[in-house]
Amino acid sequence: MPAIIRRTPAGVISTIVALLIWQFIGSFGPLAGDSFATATEAITALAGLLTDSVFWAAVGQTLHMAILGFIISIAVAVPLGLLIGLSRFSYRSSKFTFDFFKVIPPIVIIPIAILAIGPNITMGVVLVIFANVFAVAIQTAYGVRDTDPVLLETMRCYRFNVIQQVLHARLPSAAPQISVAIRLAASAALIVAVVAGLVGGAPGLGNLLMRYQSGGQVDKTYAVLLALGIFGILVSRLIVRAQRRIIFWTGR
């Protein structure tokens, strides 16, 4: 292998290859034409959007729904999961209900949400919360239940009370599971916030995407998709990095 390729990160190479294939299909393949933007067209359009206040307003609204919904879901789900996980009875009895809500795709409750709240930012926030709160709570509860019994017995011998056991054993034990749930929740928050605009009429990038598409602005439609992909990667990178710092004792 030539040295220049060996020294380039694998991600860069595969990205370049993917862009080349995209460009090729868009120029010569059966999809070539007005309804399909090539990589260069999309990137040019994205560059244009970066100076467009409409685009940034949409970014702001989507992030607003995603971040607020995400924060509320975590703030509710983690303490809730802790409580549920504390006793075998509450864990068993809640698991079924939570699993039931967990598998309902948030998109199917959009009709109900529009009726109840209307097509606005609040609806987007509620959808994000609905999408995440059950999964994070049940995962937290699972992590808490999964605490090593030997550790808990040691604490009981040293006469630690229940609150101390939660703070010093159950919560740190569950941290790896909670953090996986949080990582998934962050990605889901972004996706659901976009879907809320795409299908539910909430403002933001999803809505912008719809408008560009129905207005026949093909290059801008693709540019928004590109932007969403980049956002998604940034979010998950950020969270993985934070997790490695906080939960340093696993995966050794």
For residue 133, give Cα distances in angstroms to 3, 138, 220: 48, 9, 33
Structure tokens at 246: 């906080």
Expressed in angstroms, the distance from the first to the final Cα of the chain is 32
* Least distance in angstroms from the C-beta of 87 to another protein: 18
- Shortest CA distance to 86 belongs to which of 36, 44, 145? 145
Between the alpha carbon of residue 239 and those of residues 65, 144, 216, 247, 250, the distances in Å are 18, 22, 36, 12, 16
Q: How far is the CB of 85 from another protein (least distance, A)?
A: 18
CA gyration radius for the chain? 23
Can you give the binding site for another protein, defined by CB under 8 A? 148, 150-151, 153-154, 156-160, 164, 168-169, 172, 175, 248-250, 252
* Nearest CB to another protein, comparing residues 96 and 249: 249
Nearer to another protein, 128 or 171 (CB): 171
Whose structure tokens read 């703030």?
A: 75
**Nearer Cβ to another protein (82/135):** 82
What does the alpha-carbon distance between residue 233 and residue 237 come to, in Å, rounded to a whole number? 6
- Cβ nearer to another protein, comparing 89 with 249: 249
| Residue 146 exposed, middle or buried by CB count within 10 Å (0-12, 13-18, 19+) | middle
Question: Smallest distance from the beta carbon of 175 to another protein, in angstroms?
Answer: 8
* CB of residue 95 to another protein, shortest distance in Å: 24
Cβ proximity to another protein: between 1 and 157 the closer is 157
**Closest approach of Cβ 247 to another protein, in Å?**
8
